[in-house]
Amino acid sequence: MATGPPPPSGIYVPVPTFFQSFDKYAYKQPLDHDAQAEHTLLLARAGVTGLILCGSTGEAVHLTSAERVELISRQKKVLADNNYDNVVIMAGTTSQNIDETIGVIKESKDAGATYALVLTPNYFAVAGGYSEEGMREWYVTVANNSPIPVLVYNYPAVSNNLQLSLSLMKTLSKHPNIVGCKLSHGNMSHHLILSSSPEIEHQYFRVFTGLGQQLLPLLLSGPGAAGAIDGTAAYFPKSMIRIYNLAGRIRSGDATTEEWEEAQKLQCAYSEVEEWVVKFGTVGIKEAIKIVLGISVGQAGGRLPFSESHLTREWEKFREVFERVQDIEAKL
């Protein structure tokens, strides 16, 4: 077991995995390393704190083990070759199998990741097969055997609606190799409690929201509030970073009335554009990257069974809110 400090506070981007255009009915599109590198450098230049590779947005469930390793190692090299060694790489570890989870973490560490974002196991969640004790032991065993620090990833929408309890999260926060969590759910109360509770040593356990809509209220809550790991930041990173920086000035008492108003207006605009991700998830993020940034995302937006064909007619409904944030982004 390796122990280390929690990840630095800031804005992290769950990065999509880019694929080459290919026969739509081929069972596997090749990785597009050029598009991946282009996107990585765009985010690094914008000033993001870190990248999450091979997470939910990265379609980890559609990747082979070898592809995960190749993806992490190549992006680590791209960052190093362009003097962005300060950008943190966090690896997603999506597996129901505890042995495989630990194996993925070890491979990710060897490829260049410094943290592991560990999704809650969930296959039997609706079949009554899980207890709080079992979930606790699962995470403790993973953390005990992980060569890099672990963050708990609680994302009910992809986990059979499994919601980890506050008591379990508080217990896990005490493990020396569990250094934080990503909460991708709408229960703001859990965000605020875990970032403020006196039962948690917040210098060792940091709380990140997976929903950019919640960034400002989270950052104004408690000492454990660390930032966001947010999909919309994949194409609007500067706006998210600006909210983060304004929140820092508000917390320190240095913000002017104008900065307060800017933070509120920007959070509102960002929250509206985030509704696109709420509705269309990973495929929506890739479609927005294609339209906003002009980066090729590959055919069908992702590997089967993903398809982006229904998004074209939906885009017009969101055009106005996207253009509003694009104008803000261009000025930052």
Supply the mean pLDDT for the chain: 93
Q: pLDDT value at position 299?
A: 63
Structure confidence by residue, pLDDT tens digits, 82-107: 999 999 999 999 888 999 999 999 99
Position 99 in a domain: yes
Give the model's confidence band at 187: pLDDT under 50 very low, under 70 low, under 90 confident, else very high: very high
- Does pLDDT of 43 surpass 70? yes
Give the model's confidence band at 1: pLDDT under 50 very low, under 70 low, under 90 confident, else very high: low
* Domain extent at residue 32: 10-331
SS (H, E, C) the chain: CCCCCCCCCEEEEECCCCECCCCCCCCCCCECHHHHHHHHHHHHHHCCCEEEECCCCCCHHHCCHHHHHHHHHHHHHHHHHCCCCCCEEEEEECCCCHHHHHHHHHHHHHHCCCEEEEECCCCCHHHCCCCHHHHHHHHHHHHHHCCCCEEEEECHHHCCCCCCCHHHHHHHCCCCCEEEEEECCCCHHHHHHHHHCCCCCCCCCEEEECCHHHHHHHHCCCCCEEEEECHHHHCCHHHHHHHHHHHHHHHHCCCCHHHHHHHHHHHHHHHHHHHHHHHHHHHHHHHHHHHHHCCCCCHHHCCCCCCCCCCHHHHHHHHHHHHHHHHHHHHC
Q: pLDDT value at position 281?
A: 92
Position 94 in a domain: yes
Position 3 in a domain: no
Q: Supply 249's token pair.
A: 């000035």
State phi, psi for 52 to the nearest 5 degrees. -105, 120
Active site residue 153: yes
Position 2 in a domain: no
Structure confidence by residue, pLDDT tens digits, 308-325: 777 878 999 999 999 999
Give pTM, 2 decimals: 0.95
- Does pLDDT of 124 surpass 70? yes
> Domain with 94 in it: what CATH number?
3.20.20.70
Active site residue 182: yes
193 annotated among ligand-binding-site residues: no
How many independent structural domains does the chain possess?
A: 1
Candidate list 76, 182, 238, 286, residue with the active-site label? 182
Look-up of token digits 């089967």: 304
The percentage of residues in the chain with a pLDDT greater than 70, rounded to a whole number, is: 97
Q: pLDDT value at position 27?
A: 72
Mean pLDDT of 281-298: 92
Position 192 in a domain: yes
Q: Supply 233's token pair.
A: 């930041």
Q: pLDDT value at position 216?
A: 97
Q: pLDDT value at position 25?
A: 64
Position 4 in a domain: no
Candidate list 153, 155, 204, 235, residue with the active-site label? 153
Distance between start and end Cα atoms, the chain: 42
282 annotated among ligand-binding-site residues: no
Q: pLDDT value at position 300?
A: 62
Give the model's confidence band at 175: pLDDT under 50 very low, under 70 low, under 90 confident, else very high: very high
Structure confidence by residue, pLDDT tens digits, 20-31: 877 666 677 899
